[in-house]
Amino acid sequence: MNRRVATALAASLLLSACGSVQLGAPSLAGRWEPLDARWGGQDYPIANFRGTLLQLTETGYQFGADQGSYTTLAGTPARMDIHGNAGPNAGRNIPAIYLLAGDRLAICYQLGAGERPADFASPAGSQILLVHYRRAP
């Protein structure tokens, strides 16, 4: 009996320590095409992205000349910390939230000095960029 309790406790502690790992969770890795965007409460024209695709690996990203890494964090909504290594966001840390549903991905980025976005909105006057993507072939 004590061995079962100890094993269950050890398993529980291990799972708690790995809280940001979601077994069986769909992967963000792939190529993502922007569908629409809002920045500071206004529509942000997709044409500004010049056909660039967001490319995600399990831990890295590239969007045109912008490259870096990201980590996902457990929570509701799911959270992401983005670390720019090269390009226009080199040296920046960008807090974001994301929602992955099938072949659709929404990412809400805090591009200013404010807090991580709490929901998938881009309030007027904010530096929050909300982008909806579709998985590209």
Residue by residue, DSSP assigns 50-109 as TTPPEEE-SSEEEETTEEEEEEEE-SSSEEEEEEEEESTTTT-EEEEEEEEETTEEEEEE
Q: How many domains does the chain have?
A: 1
Residue 88, CA distances (Å) to 18, 84, 134 in order: 32, 8, 24
Is residue 76 domain-resident? yes
Query: Which residue has 């809400």 as its token pair?
Result: 108
Is residue 93 domain-resident? yes
Cβ neighbour number for residue 70 with a 10 Å cutoff = 20
Q: What is the pLDDT of residue 25?
A: 56
- Give which of 67, 73, 72 is closest to 55, Cα–Cα: 67
Q: What is the pLDDT of residue 12?
A: 29
Is residue 67 domain-resident? yes
Q: What is the pLDDT of residue 119?
A: 97
Q: What is the pLDDT of residue 124?
A: 97
Is residue 12 domain-resident? no
Is residue 57 domain-resident? yes
Is residue 61 domain-resident? yes
Range of the domain at 93: 20-135
Q: What is the pLDDT of residue 137?
A: 86
Q: Give the three-state DSSP class for 9.
A: helix
Q: What is the pLDDT of residue 126?
A: 97
Q: What is the pLDDT of residue 26?
A: 73
Q: What is the pLDDT of residue 3?
A: 34
Domain CATH for 81: 2.40.128
> How big is the chain, counted in residues?
137
Is residue 109 domain-resident? yes
DSSP state of 113: S
pLDDT by 10-residue block (mean), the chain, 137 residues: 32 30 68 98 95 96 97 95 97 97 97 96 97 96
Verdict on whether the full-model pTM lies above 0.85: no
